[in-house]
Amino acid sequence: KAGVTQTPRYLIKTRGQQVTLSCSPISGHRSVSWYQQTPGQGLQFLFEYFSETQRNKGNFPGRFSGRQFSNSRSEMNVSTLELGDSALYLCASSLMTQYEQYFGPGTRLTVT
């Protein structure tokens, strides 16, 4: 089976802009979760989608949003980018909510 894919792998944006990241889960996985990883805070949970519905949400501002499509592919959007949003954004898919996660390689976002 093909693994989790994320696009783009690297992105540079300017403060105030918005960005959309994409994730394609493993075939058959209906749960997709998004995480932000930084050296200071580690891996922090953003949100989880299952069958196109947001099931869980982490403690992030409303600038962070996501959605899941009927084919389980997911996108996350960050509006009004801030310098502190610079991070590695990881997507993970799983068979069920909060189950074993299979991660993609991540998108490295740099905000200048």
Partner 1 sequence: TQLLEQSPQFLSIQEGENLTVYCNSSSVFSSLQWYRQEPGEGPVLLVTVVTGGEVKKLKRLTFQFGDARKDSSLHITAAQPGDTGLYLCAGARGGADGLTFGKGTHLIIQP
Q: Which of 21, 32, 81, 90 binds partner 1 (CB under 8 A)?
A: 90
Helix runs in the chain, H state only:
none
Tell whether residue 98 is a contact of partner 1 (CB under 8 A). yes
For residue 30, how many other CB atoms are within 10 A of its CB? 16
How many angstroms separate the CA atoms of 29 and 93, rounded? 6
Q: 58 by DSSP, 3-state: which?
A: coil
How many angstroms separate the CA atoms of 38 and 49, rounded? 22
In the complex, minimum distance from the CB of residue 75 to partner 1, in angstroms, rounded to a whole number: 17
Q: Which of residues 31-70 bind partner 1 (CB under 8 A)?
A: 33, 35, 41-45, 47-48, 55-58
In the complex, minimum distance from the CB of residue 28 to partner 1, in angstroms, rounded to a whole number: 16
Fill in the DSSP letter of residue 85: G
How many angstroms separate the CA atoms of 109 and 14, rounded? 10
Nearer to partner 1, 6 or 72 (CB): 6
In the complex, minimum distance from the CB of residue 94 to partner 1, in angstroms, rounded to a whole number: 9
- The residues binding partner 1 (CB under 8 A) are 4, 33, 35, 41-45, 47-48, 55-58, 90, 92, 98-106
